[in-house]
Amino acid sequence: MYKKIVLNHINFNKKVLKFFKEANEELDVEDVKEAGEFVVYHRAWHYIQNVNIDNVEHIIAIEKYADEYLDIALKLGISFFEQYEEYEKCALLKKILDKVKEFQS
């Protein structure tokens, strides 16, 4: 679900920003973009926060969904949370990313 939320957000956000920019030129599109990203990444975090890379069932799930898109979604999440200095979240996403890379090689 994490991957789906993050990746779908990118496409949806482009359309929403375009709509708001055309509908109201006075609207600060950058604020809308930041608010959208905040909601999306925190909602995606809700789905991934309990992943335990020491749990065999979680490892199996990571292996099943390990692909380039999950790789990208995790990197985007790390980048987002770094901006807000939420390093605990970055650490978990990095651990999951490392597992994904193990399965990709």
Tens of pLDDT along the chain (105 residues)? 999 999 998 888 878 777 877 777 777 878 888 888 999 999 999 999 999 999 999 999 999 999 999 999 999 999 999 999 999 999 999 999 999 999 987
pLDDT confidence of residue 22: 78
pLDDT for res 74: 98
Q: Tokens 């990313």 sit at which residue?
A: 97
At residue 6, the pLDDT reads 95
Helix residue ranges per DSSP H, 24-48: 29-48
CA distance 39 to 21: 20
What's residue 21's pLDDT? 75
Please, what is the end-to-end C-alpha distance for the chain in angstroms?
23
pTM of the model: 0.87
